[in-house]
Amino acid sequence: MRKPVIAGNWKMYKTISEAVHFIEMIKPVAAQAGHCEVVVAPPFTALAAAAEAADGSKVAISAQDMHWDKEGAHTGDISAAMLVDAGCTHVIIGHSERRHDHGETDEQVNRKIKAALEAGLTPIMCVGEVLAERESGLTGKVLTAQFEGGLAGLTAPDFSRIIIAYEPVWAIGTGRTATPEMAAEAHHLLRGLARERFGENEASAVRILYGGSVKPDNVGGLMAQEEIDGALVGGASLKVDSFTALVNYR
Ligand code: PEP
């Protein structure tokens, strides 16, 4: 049995006080949600305060990115150890907005994943095709390259500590969601790659989240798919009411 994960990616939204208020509101919701894990990813500035507010609760705190080096001359970057120090347990890596806004490559994603694992963080590795790739029938090829590149050199025990998020880029923040069947097909492909590369046990255990305009009114259909083990949510994770509805998708 794979325990579903409902994760909110706040992107560049929320001040420290807004983040803390949100966590206080969502703590009782997470406490009652034994069916899933609840993760929120505030911006860097709010991580420590969010983690303090979430301390002792069922809300896990994730960062949205990190650098692969332990420390160094990298202006504006944050290391895995700094995230652990701030109270994070998870880190999103390879989000399409990092890949597209900052030119992040699979090789960099790979370095970040390794550094996150070494620091004891749970990486949530994002993969997904752009619209032109889907329309050209290249989805499988793109997902394979991102999966292989992002996870190069990892062992099966390493892989067992990772969460994957399938996020078709054309569905992120667009209001256009993949149908449950489309998402399940991509998840099935990713699980097959995991089986080939890491073995049956790891493939059947890995949580693969769907992300891309998940909302309270479509989460049920997505989560009904056997292949979908949770959601990584941007826009609908910003309001307590809608995030609560997502956590209580059943
Ligand atoms: C995301 O940021 O990972 C995401 C899926 O955003 P949205 O839910 O707004 O499409």
Give tens-digit pLDDT for 60-72: 999 999 999 999 9
Q: Is 173 in the pocket of ligand 1 (CB under 6 A)?
A: yes
Tell whether the model's pLDDT for residue 175 goes beyond 90.
Answer: no
Contact yes or no for 231/222 (Cβ under 8 A): yes
Contact yes or no for 8/243 (Cβ under 8 A): yes
Which of ligand 1's atoms lies nearest the C-alpha of 95? 3
Q: Is 128 in the pocket of ligand 1 (CB under 6 A)?
A: no
Q: Which run of H or E residues covers position 190?
A: helix 180-198
Q: Is 167 in the pocket of ligand 1 (CB under 6 A)?
A: yes
**pLDDT given for residue 173 in this prediction:** 85
Sequence-ordered strand ranges (E) for the chain: 5-9, 37-41, 59-63, 90-93, 122-127, 163-166, 208-211, 230-233
**What is the set of active-site residues?**
95, 167
Per residue in 206-248, pLDDT tens?
A: 999 999 999 999 999 999 999 999 999 999 999 999 999 999 9
Q: d(Cα 203, Cα 192) in Å, to the nearest integer?
A: 7
- Residue 213 Cα to ligand 1 midpoint, Å, equals 6
Mean pLDDT of 171-198: 94
CA distances from 38 to 60, 163, 220 (A): 6, 13, 16
The letter for the amino acid at 124 is: I
Per residue in 142-157, pLDDT tens?
A: 999 999 999 999 999 9
Q: Is 233 in the pocket of ligand 1 (CB under 6 A)?
A: yes
